[in-house]
Amino acid sequence: MVRRSQSSNPRSPVVLSGGADWRTRAAGQQRTTGAELTLPRKQSKRIKVLGNTIEALRVAINAERPAQARFLLSRAGALVRSIPASEISGERRQLPDLRKKFAATTAKTRPSTAKKPAPKPSAPSPKPKQPAPKTARKPAKRPPQPARVPDLGDRYINRAALGYSTTSTDKR
């Protein structure tokens, strides 16, 4: 149970939630792409942000950070679409090259699913082969044993020193 109200007022309504609202909460916390961010209003600022985004994109691709590069590619695309083509011809030419470079780096780092060819058998060695050592089998799991109590044996306990019996000098 989760207490939803953090108020110190004892009369305020308190809703105890068992955590069933996690799906709706997670839906509101989905990752954003760069295109969803607000763009600067002035065109000069947009051009400046586009230049910074392209530089950061180049760094992310070189450092092989695919999530950051994907975000920045989306952001740069949104900026390019919002600026007239006549003002950003250089940046427009850089973006496809960076997309290709990003695709090449992600394809390189992606694990290959193709089967590897079986190794070719080597030439027979002149020495006779020895059998492979046998691996020890793991013993079957036994149920847990209770903890052992140490055996104290036949020890002498001085009951008189502990006050449980009378000493030989005490006479009643």
What predicted TM-score, i.e. pTM, was given to this entire model?
Answer: 0.46
Quote the CA–CA distance of 20 and 5 in Å, as a whole number. 16
Q: What percent of the chain has pLDDT over 70?
A: 60
Residue 129, SS3? coil
**What DSSP character marks residue 16?**
E
Quote the CA–CA distance of 114 and 104 in Å, as a whole number. 18
How far the first Cα of the chain sits from its last, in Å, is 68
What confidence score (pLDDT) does residue 163 get?
A: 82
Quote the CA–CA distance of 153 and 155 in Å, as a whole number. 6
Q: Using one digit for the tens of pLDDT, what is the confidence trace for 39-82?
A: 888 888 999 999 999 999 999 999 999 999 999 999 999 899 88
Confidence of residue 137 (pLDDT cuts 50, 70, 90): confident
Using left for φ > 0, alpha for ψ between -120 and 50, and beta otherwise, residue 144 falls in beta
Per-residue pLDDT averaged across 134-157, rounded?
Answer: 75
What confidence score (pLDDT) does residue 14 get?
A: 59
Q: Using one digit for the tens of pLDDT, what is the confidence trace for 26-43?
A: 666 666 676 677 888 888
Per-residue pLDDT averaged across 113-117, rounded?
Answer: 65
